[in-house]
Chains A and B, each alone.
Chain A
Amino acid sequence: MSWTKKVLRVNLTEGSISEEPLNMEWAMDYLGQRGLATKYLVEETDPKSDALSPENKMIMTTGPLTGTIASTAGRYSVVTKSPLTGAIACSNSGGYIGNEMKNAGWDMIIFEGKAPNPVYLYIENDKAELLPADDLWGKTVWETDELLHTKHQEPQLRVAAIGRSAEKGCLFAAIVNDLHRAAGRSGVGTVMASKNLKAVAIRGTLGVGNIENPKEFLQATQDGKKVLAENAVTGEGLPEHGTQVLMNVINEVGALPTRNHREVQFEGAGKISAEAMREVREGDGRANLTTNAACFGCTIACQRVSTVDKTHFTVKDKPEYQGSSGGLEFENAWSLGTDCGVDDLDAITFANYLCNEDGMDPISLGATIAAAMELFEEGYITVENTDGVELKFGSAEALVWATEVTAKGEGFGKELGLGSKRLCEKYGRPEFSMTVKGQEFPAYDPRGIQGIGLAYATSNRGACHLRGYTVASEIMGIPEKTDPLETEGKAGLVKAFQDATAVVDSVGICVFSTFAWSMEDIAPQIDAACEGDWSVDRCLEVGERIWTMERDYNLAAGLTAMDDTLPKRLIKDIAAKSGPAEGRVNDLSKMLPEYYEVRGWTPDGVPTEETRQRLGL
């Protein structure tokens, strides 16, 4: 269905649940999911409120295409204020629960207040109830999922839950759904924990309907699937190799942040790459990669499913981890591997399992461990802090230990759970933290890919590649090739990616579809499904409106243009030591003023009144 036009409002303080109509006037301006939920958050909360207070709200939201027959249309998002950054948070996830929520008849679930005791929300179509979760508190995501399936005796129940890390205050805790998919970034799981909400369990059987023009929609979605199937990246590259294929690519172009961004190329990249995942191991005669998999309705199927060698130190005494489980994406392999200098593929895979099991953002976790390793090697942290563990770059054992204690919120793990910004500030070396607005960097080095540096600096949720993935253009040539070392033209490129991504994130489809789809492929699917005329231009205007609204939220929360920056390490202190970018830093100062200009913002990064009026803000 497109919009179900129904919102479920859950007041956790009072324990009450009510149904209300979706604000369709807003839907015409913000589509759904990321855009529409942010509009609700803007209208209903004070941006200055404490992210972990009952005043903050948390919105689970689908898009108008979620649950339809459009390819990749299984996405949902969690929108709230981030405890990690103090900025807007919107974390997007695949799997199956987005579809389930839509099939239960809900566009959006708004959680407000704080439950006096742990609860979970159980939804079966129109029936929704808050149930006690005292027995689930303290359990992992995987244990919670199993207990809820057993309790409700419903094999098709879909569960999104937080793990122990969130309960213990880890600021980059994720909400994990369907065991291995996550609304991962910006600490949305921490907000959920602050509300004493352990899980959301949904069964929806109402089916698909409410398509504006079913015949046109069938044609538009068939056309879209044909484009995906015939495109070499989405039809072959991603299902065959997954995102991990980028490990060697980004290493070769000299933009693979290594050992907490001290270097830009990793000598061990080949050992933890997509190619390595397919190689037969000596230990058990099997490969790390078991198979690929797909989220709901996806015809790309980029997910990895992996198995750790039974003789490996991480699992040899733990049979519960010896089966197949969620495998490595490029980001996770980079953060837990390259950034920590670790080239042990199975150790990284195991650490990634733990991120899924206990709900942690692996990007922030790995980058924080990398910062801690630098603090250790420079003597600011000692074995007295780490229970005797030598927290050195390259140590797989240290990586696994750090992941385990953060998952459980024990000892030094409590400090790691605060993220790299707070950790490095505590130990007197804030410049060791590779963050923007307090959120850790993804796997692309801004010294070797200039445009992504601008995208990180201006991202509304802190450092993030998925808010404007200029790497597609700068490295892969999608939709057209630009020079990664050039700064000219990057302001417009970043804006174009940011606005288009805001649309994609607001309709319920996956951003990976855009390796093949342009807005000319997406707009007809929206137009056929939804009431109103949805042209390419209107969609892109909605994207710009969403981006600017998020900016306004952040400004109201107290952020300024001073927060649109990169760590000194990347713009001044340490030039790239090797590769095509050798000797370069990121030239953010050349790009940022032009970016403000093309956005119609003042030189101080504030949207002008003219821009606000043009966008109807």
Chain B
Amino acid sequence: MKITLKLYAGLSQYLPVDSKNHSTKLDISSSATASSVLDKFVPEGAAHLVLLNGVFLEPEERKLPKLKDGDTLAVWPPVAGG
């Protein structure tokens, strides 16, 4: 299945070189999890805020096969603002 992976802020550097707008399309297996996808792209512990279609994924949820075709996974390092 195909998903969109978006890596923002300091994580953008880990996207493939042909990525645009901090985003890349991925072909993943049906058993893939958010964690298994992120393990291929970002260093361990670097992903802090992980959103699946805009909804926060708790760390334990990232290890579950919750991804579906067409999903968007957006990820940030620790960030905040005001």
Please state if A243 and B81 are interface contacts (CB–CB under 8 Å): yes
Nearest Cβ on chain A to B52's Cβ, whole angstroms: 10
- Which of B8-16, B29-37, B63-71 is near enough to bind chain A? B8-16
Nearest Cβ on chain B to A504's Cβ, whole angstroms: 12
Nearest Cβ on chain B to A229's Cβ, whole angstroms: 13
Chain A window 329-346, contacts with chain B (Cβ cutoff 8 Å), 1 for yes, 0 for no: 111000000000000000
Nearest Cβ on chain A to B20's Cβ, whole angstroms: 10
Please state if A241 and B74 are interface contacts (CB–CB under 8 Å): no
Please state if B78 and A253 are interface contacts (CB–CB under 8 Å): no
Taking A243-B81, A330-B81, A512-B82 as contacts, is the C-beta distance between A248 and B58 under 8 angstroms?
A: no
Say whether B2 faces chain A, with CB atoms less than 8 Å apart. no
Please state if A515 and B80 are interface contacts (CB–CB under 8 Å): yes
Taking A274-B9, A465-B82 as contacts, is the C-beta distance between A232 and B22 under 8 angstroms?
A: no
Taking A252-B74, A254-B54, A579-B54 as contacts, is the C-beta distance between A233 and B8 under 8 angstroms?
A: no
Please state if A469 and B79 are interface contacts (CB–CB under 8 Å): no
Please state if B9 and A237 are interface contacts (CB–CB under 8 Å): yes
Complex Cα distance, B53 from A484, in Å, reads: 14
Residue in contact with A252 in the complex, picked from B9, B12, B54, CB distance below 8 Å: B54
The chain A residue sitting closest to B72, CB to CB, is: A252
Say whether A476 faces chain B, with CB atoms less than 8 Å apart. yes
Residues in A neighbouring B54, C-beta threshold 8 A: 252-254, 579-580
Complex Cα distance, B54 from A230, in Å, reads: 28
Complex Cα distance, B56 from A484, in Å, reads: 9
Please state if A270 and B21 are interface contacts (CB–CB under 8 Å): yes
Nearest Cβ on chain A to B62's Cβ, whole angstroms: 13
The chain A residue sitting closest to B75, CB to CB, is: A252
Nearest Cβ on chain A to B41's Cβ, whole angstroms: 16
Complex Cα distance, B57 from A481, in Å, reads: 10
Residue in contact with B78 in the complex, picked from A236, A244, A246, A329, CB distance below 8 Å: A236
Please state if B8 and A249 are interface contacts (CB–CB under 8 Å): yes
The chain B residue sitting closest to A481, CB to CB, is: B56
The chain A residue sitting closest to B46, CB to CB, is: A232
Taking A270-B21, A580-B54 as contacts, is the C-beta distance between A249 and B49 under 8 angstroms?
A: yes
Please state if A511 and B9 are interface contacts (CB–CB under 8 Å): no
Say whether A245 faces chain B, with CB atoms less than 8 Å apart. yes
Residues in B neighbouring A469, C-beta threshold 8 A: 82
The chain A residue sitting closest to B52, CB to CB, is: A580
The chain A residue sitting closest to B20, CB to CB, is: A270
Say whether A275 faces chain B, with CB atoms less than 8 Å apart. yes
Residues 234-282 of A at the B interface (beta carbon under 8 Å)? 236-238, 240-246, 248-249, 252-254, 270, 274-275
Q: How many B residues touch A, CB cutoff 8 Å?
A: 24
Say whether A478 faces chain B, with CB atoms less than 8 Å apart. yes
How many inter-chain contacts with C-beta < 8 Å in the A-B complex?
91
Residues in A neighbouring B55, C-beta threshold 8 A: 253, 580
Chain A window 379-392, contacts with chain B (Cβ cutoff 8 Å), 1 for yes, 0 for no: 00000000000000
Complex Cα distance, B79 from A366, in Å, reads: 25
Complex Cα distance, B21 from A434, in Å, reads: 31
The chain B residue sitting closest to A469, CB to CB, is: B82
Complex Cα distance, B77 from A476, in Å, reads: 11
Say whether B28 faces chain A, with CB atoms less than 8 Å apart. no
Taking A249-B49, A579-B54 as contacts, is the C-beta distance between A240 and B80 under 8 angstroms?
A: no
Residues in A neighbouring B74, C-beta threshold 8 A: 248, 252
Say whether A466 faces chain B, with CB atoms less than 8 Å apart. yes
Please state if B22 and A246 are interface contacts (CB–CB under 8 Å): no
Residues in A neighbouring B56, C-beta threshold 8 A: 253, 475, 477, 481, 483-484
Complex Cα distance, B51 from A254, in Å, reads: 11
Complex Cα distance, B52 from A579, in Å, reads: 11
Residue of A236, A241, A243 ringed by the most chain B CB atoms within 10 A? A241
Complex Cα distance, B78 from A476, in Å, reads: 8
Say whether B25 faces chain A, with CB atoms less than 8 Å apart. no
Nearest Cβ on chain B to A137's Cβ, whole angstroms: 34
The chain B residue sitting closest to A510, CB to CB, is: B82
Complex Cα distance, B56 from A483, in Å, reads: 8
Complex Cα distance, B74 from A113, in Å, reads: 55
Please state if A237 and B79 are interface contacts (CB–CB under 8 Å): yes
Residue of A330, A331, A515 ringed by the most chain B CB atoms within 10 A? A515
Complex Cα distance, B56 from A254, in Å, reads: 12
Please state if B9 and A246 are interface contacts (CB–CB under 8 Å): no
Please state if A232 and B77 are interface contacts (CB–CB under 8 Å): yes
Residues in B neighbouring A472, C-beta threshold 8 A: 80
Nearest Cβ on chain A to B2's Cβ, whole angstroms: 19
Residues in A neighbouring B8, C-beta threshold 8 A: 245, 248-249, 275
Residues in A neighbouring B80, C-beta threshold 8 A: 233, 237-238, 243, 245-246, 472, 476, 478, 512, 515
Complex Cα distance, B76 from A270, in Å, reads: 14
Complex Cα distance, B80 from A243, in Å, reads: 6
Residues in B neighbouring A481, C-beta threshold 8 A: 56, 58
Residues in B neighbouring A243, C-beta threshold 8 A: 80-82
A–B pairs, 18, beta carbons within 8 Å: A232-B78, A236-B77, A236-B78, A240-B9, A240-B10, A243-B80, A245-B9, A248-B8, A252-B74, A329-B82, A330-B82, A466-B82, A472-B80, A475-B49, A476-B80, A477-B56, A512-B80, A512-B82
B: residues with CB less than 8 A from A are 6, 8-10, 12, 21-22, 48-49, 51, 53-56, 58, 72, 74, 76-82
For the complex of A and B, the 6 pairs showing the least CB-CB separation, nearest first, are A243-B81, A232-B78, A246-B81, A580-B54, A237-B79, A245-B79
Known: A275-B9, A512-B82. 8 other contacts (CB 8 A): A241-B79, A244-B81, A246-B79, A246-B80, A252-B6, A275-B12, A481-B56, A515-B80
A: residues with CB less than 8 A from B are 231-233, 236-238, 240-246, 248-249, 252-254, 270, 274-275, 329-331, 465-466, 469, 472, 475-478, 481, 483-484, 511-512, 515, 579-580
